[in-house]
Amino acid sequence: MENNYILEITLISAQGLKKTSKFRRMKTYALAWTDSAVKVRTCIDRVGGVNPTWNDKFLFRVSSEFLYRETSGISIEIFTVGIFSDTLVGTVRLLVSNLLRIGSSYIPVRVPSFSAVHVRRPSGRFEGALNVGASVLLDSDVPEMDGATGINIRDLIKEAPKSKMVRRSHSVVGIPHENPFLHCDDQPYRRDPMKEIREVETTKHARSPSGGARWGSCSFRPCSRRGFNNPLKQNKVLLRAAQNNVDILCLLETRVKPEKSMDIIGSKLSNWNVSVNYEFAANGRIWVLWKKNLDFTTISVSDQILSVKGSFMGNSFVISAVYGSNDDIN
């Protein structure tokens, strides 16, 4: 009997793609598949141009035979949106054996792997690179797939579609769009945001421990000068985390200076442990936070990846927060 696994592929970003138009900014998306009959698509990056960022995660149901076969791989096509038809920018073929380094008798379950691969243009020449992450999960880890062979995790969690008028890279994950300082009769009222956060955390702490620790992430506007410096934004993020029982949180592009980070951590994050990558990236590109009742340690830090290792209910695991930089390739 075949052992079934879930192959988790994350299309993080791309750099240095071939520009297809001299007059229009490229709006790109990518298709990925293990079986050409089932293709899944990222959202459209409308602001990155030749350096798009997607951070979309796909799940593919595969067999152990597929993982062990040396020729098995994931096919990826990158397109730019056109007026009448979309244009192929380039293709990538990822061999599973190279990406996950699977041995002859061992499948590294839940061990993340990251790689940058060249993008092949339709002409056959290489131009640009694709940043991708991958890991193998057990079939029982994702019962929600319900027999599907390939799916975007956004569809799996039934994420509400974003407005077409809002640029994807300018959105904040998990933050409500309504004005939190207007009551139902549209009249302003005063409140203590930190008191609300504490009340929500106190209410939520009694949930069953079998529910597991929850992970959340927020990315801030690339054009924003304030990032996580704005106290209102800090309160929104923490309130949303408390409302959704988030115990592990990643913040990207915080734009907080090192000297100010200590004030924020001391005043707003007293119930959290915080790991940052100031040593490798200016203004705190990656912050990983976890509640102080969780057992986590930082094991790896760089300018684009911050990894922490922890255990929960006797199971050890690693969580990596990845920032897809749009810097030019050297």
Say if CB 144 and CB 60 are below 8 A apart.
no
23-32, 193-202, 279-288: least confidently modelled range: 193-202
| Res 137 pLDDT > 60 | yes
Judge if 4-168 and 193-322 fold alike in CATH terms. no
Mean pLDDT score of the chain = 76
What topology is assigned to 193-322 in CATH?
Deoxyribonuclease I; Chain A (3.60.10)
Q: Smallest Cα–Cα separation from 32: which of 153, 204, 141, 138?
A: 153
**Most confident range, picked from 31-35, 63-67, 156-160, 307-311:** 31-35
Task: Give the CATH number of domain 4-168.
Answer: 2.60.40.150
201 band by pLDDT with thresholds 50, 70 and 90: low
Domain ranges of the chain: 4-168, 193-322
Lowest mean pLDDT among 53-57, 95-99, 179-183: 179-183
Q: What is the DSSP pairing of strand 28-35 with strand 73-80?
A: antiparallel
Q: CA 304, CA 22: separation in Å to the nearest integer? A: 30
pTM: 0.50
Strands of the 246-252 sheet, one edge to the other = 214-219, 246-252, 286-291, 272-276
E strand map for the chain: 4-15, 28-35, 38-41, 53-63, 73-80, 87-95, 113-120, 126-138, 150-152, 214-219, 246-252, 272-276, 286-291, 295-301, 305-312, 315-322
**Model pLDDT for residues 239-286, shown as the tens digit of each residue:** 888 877 788 888 888 888 887 888 888 888 888 888 888 888 777 788
